[in-house]
Amino acid sequence: MSKFGLNENLRKILDAPYPFDVVDGNKKKAEARFGRGFIIDFGIGDPTDPTPEVVRNACRRAVEETQNLGYPNVLGCGEFLSAVRHYMKKRFNVNLNQNEIIPTYGAKYTSFQLPSYFLNPNRGEVTLIPNPGYPPYSDGTTLAGGIPYYLNMLEENDFQPNFDSIPQQVLKKARILYLNSPHSPTGKIISKEKMREAVDLCKDNNILLVSDECYSDLYYEKKPMSIFEIKEAETCSIVLNSLSKRSMMTGYAVGFLASKNPNLLKPYTSIQRKSIQGVANIIQHAAAAAFMDEKHPEEMRKIYKQRRDALIPALEKIGCKVKKPEGTFFVWAKVPEKTTPLKFSEKLLLEKGINCVPGNLISKTQDKINPGERYVRFALVPSLEKTVEAVNRLK
Ligand SMILES: Cc1ncc(COP(=O)(O)O)c(C=O)c1O
């Protein structure tokens, strides 16, 4: 390896322990003990419900009607762009032009890439990142030679970022802020006031605001907003959206990036053109059908609510404290005082065949605080039947 030295920023990512190693190890033990079929897996947030028929049909039709796909245009096909425009208008009352939207391979890769377009490497430039938060925000920052600064999402702050706690010297170096509402994994819908605060912070300090709105259609009692509903956000923001969770399309890997500021879009389109080209047209057609359909997200909201409302009382009965999530399909549960997330999740898995993720493994330590050190995460992806079975096992 010495002959082919690795990029020093990449090494930082590769050398960090992979949080799921522990969970995977326990899962293997549990599978050996009970057999694979017995495990009820609330671990990874990959929806198990079928991709809607309307989506699969659109994809099938696109395959049949297109003799040769050719290289897809980075800027997207008309049907996709119209569907996103329609969706943004209907869902958020936001007007977007076609040239303000670009199809992406989903939000993971896009959020990983963005720091390398907007940070100068190895100059101490900072990305502000919710903690716990989606790992590509920080890994992408590290690979780009930037420094992640974590905004702890604590219960005492109602699981919202406290921008006042950011030290001045950090703020001076900050170039990007990631927001994620509804927030994974706490399920918190960031308030309108907090969104405004974020916009003001970004405008005052020349920070790019990246708003990850992948869960904006997975909510319970109240609807999350888009950052674009705040007029002042238009010049400083990029919105990321994805169909992975909304439409059970993780395997299709498709979403969009949108901005009203052409300078924020240009780097993305330009690098896509130079590297990977656009999203395949057949996938864009499937995505267009998904964005045009409001029925399936509505059904999924009901289904997730049933699962949430079945699981939480059972967790409370065994001593967990749970603030009902407002959105996403995650439950962020505080474990009983006398145990730790790791011990709790191990016990659940090895004694009951129920898998969840220790919160401390998916949170970073900032200012000596790991906001996940008392929590575990459940992804409500098993069916209601399996969720009820898990509830019975917990009794
Ligand atoms: C916060 C957040 N953003 C985005 C995504 C989805 O990314 P993708 O569109 O690449 O599946 C996830 C999935 O886990 C997520 O938790």
| For range 109-117, the mean pLDDT | 97
Amino acid (one-letter) located at 84: V
**C-alpha triplet 13, 132, 312: angle, nearest 5°:** 135
d(CA 118, CA 191): 27
Helix intervals (H) in 245-383 = 262-274, 281-292, 295-317, 341-352
d(CA 203, CA 209): 9
- Predicted confidence band of residue 44 (pLDDT cuts 50, 70, 90): confident
pLDDT computed for residue 36 by the predictor: 83
In percent, the amount of the chain with pLDDT more than 70 equals 99
Testing ligand 1's pocket by substitution, the residue of 153, 245, 363 carrying the most ligand atoms inside 8 A of its CB is 245
d(CA 254, CA 286): 9
Residue 242 CB less than 6 A away from ligand 1: yes
Higher-confidence position of 1 and 355? 355
Amino acid (one-letter) located at 130: P
Residue 255 CA, chain-centre distance (Å), reads 12
**C-alpha triplet 246, 249, 250: angle, nearest 5°:** 105
In this model, does residue 82 exceed pLDDT 70? Answer: yes
Ligand 1 atom having least distance to the Cα of 244: 11
Query: Would you say the CATH fold of 53-293 matches that of 2-50+296-394?
Result: no
Residue 106 CB less than 6 A away from ligand 1: yes
Give the chain's mean pLDDT. Answer: 96
Residue whose entry in the numeric block shows the structure tokens 């997975």? 218
Testing ligand 1's pocket by substitution, the residue of 215, 217, 242 carrying the most ligand atoms inside 8 A of its CB is 242
In this model, does residue 3 exceed pLDDT 70? Answer: no
Q: Domain 53-293 - what CATH class?
A: alpha beta
| For range 64-74, the mean pLDDT | 91
Residue pair 358/369 in contact (Cβ under 8 Å)? The answer is no
In this model, does residue 2 exceed pLDDT 60? Answer: no
Q: How far is the CA of 107 from the centre of ligand 1 (A)?
A: 5
CATH of domain 2-50+296-394: 3.90.1150.10
Residue 134 CB less than 6 A away from ligand 1: yes
d(CA 211, CA 209): 6
Q: How far is the CA of 45 from the centre of ligand 1 (A)?
A: 9
Ligand 1 atom having least distance to the Cα of 254: 9
| For range 374-379, the mean pLDDT | 98
pLDDT for 133-171, tens place per residue?
999 999 999 999 999 999 999 999 999 999 999 999 999
The domain ranges of the chain are 2-50+296-394, 53-293
Which residues make beta-bridge pairs with 347? none
Residue 45 CB less than 6 A away from ligand 1: yes
Residue pair 265/100 in contact (Cβ under 8 Å)? The answer is yes
Residue 180 CB less than 6 A away from ligand 1: yes
Least confident of 7-21, 93-107, 267-281: 7-21
pLDDT computed for residue 21 by the predictor: 82
Nearest CA to ligand 1 atom 14: 45
